[in-house]
Amino acid sequence: MLMRLGTALTFIGLIILVVFLVTFTADRADLRTLLAGAGLAIAGLVLRRRGQATAEESARFVTMRKVLRRGGGTTGEEGEEE
């Protein structure tokens, strides 16, 4: 849901920024248009970032990870105790 809202806000913000650029070339620019466009675009990007799914661990080497966790790093400690 956040991803879609973020995409929509980013798109609207970019459209408003284009409107600002068009009005700027016609010497009728309004600073509020620039701020609104930039604010919406940034808010949209932040929402898109929060809405991304977290990357799950790869299923590769699952057995090796379990064995290494169970070992707890005992390899190497035995040689140091002597």
Q: Is residue 58 part of a domain?
A: no
| Residue carrying structure tokens 């509020």 | 32
pLDDT above 70 covers a percentage of the chain that reads 85
| Structural domain includes residue 77 | no
Is 75 within the bounds of a domain? no
Question: 10-24, 25-39, 62-76 — which is least confidently predicted?
Answer: 62-76
Question: Is residue 24 one of the residues assigned to a domain?
Answer: yes
Kindly state whether residue 69 falls inside one of the protein's structural domains. Answer: no
- pTM here? 0.64
Mean pLDDT (the chain) is 85
Q: How many CB atoms lie within 10 A of CB 28?
A: 8
Nearest-angstrom CA–CA distance, 75 and 48:
44
Q: Which positions ≥6 away from 50 have C-beta within 8 Å?
A: 2, 6
How many structural domains does the chain have?
1
Domain assignment present for 72: no
In a domain, residue 32? The reply is yes
Range of the domain at 48: 1-52
Is residue 52 within a helix (H) or strand (E), and if so which, with residue range?
none
Q: Which residue has the tokens 């010497």?
A: 27
pLDDT in tens, 42-78: 999 999 999 887 777 777 778 887 888 887 655 555 4
Q: Is the pLDDT of residue 82 over 70?
A: no
Q: Is residue 61 part of a domain?
A: no
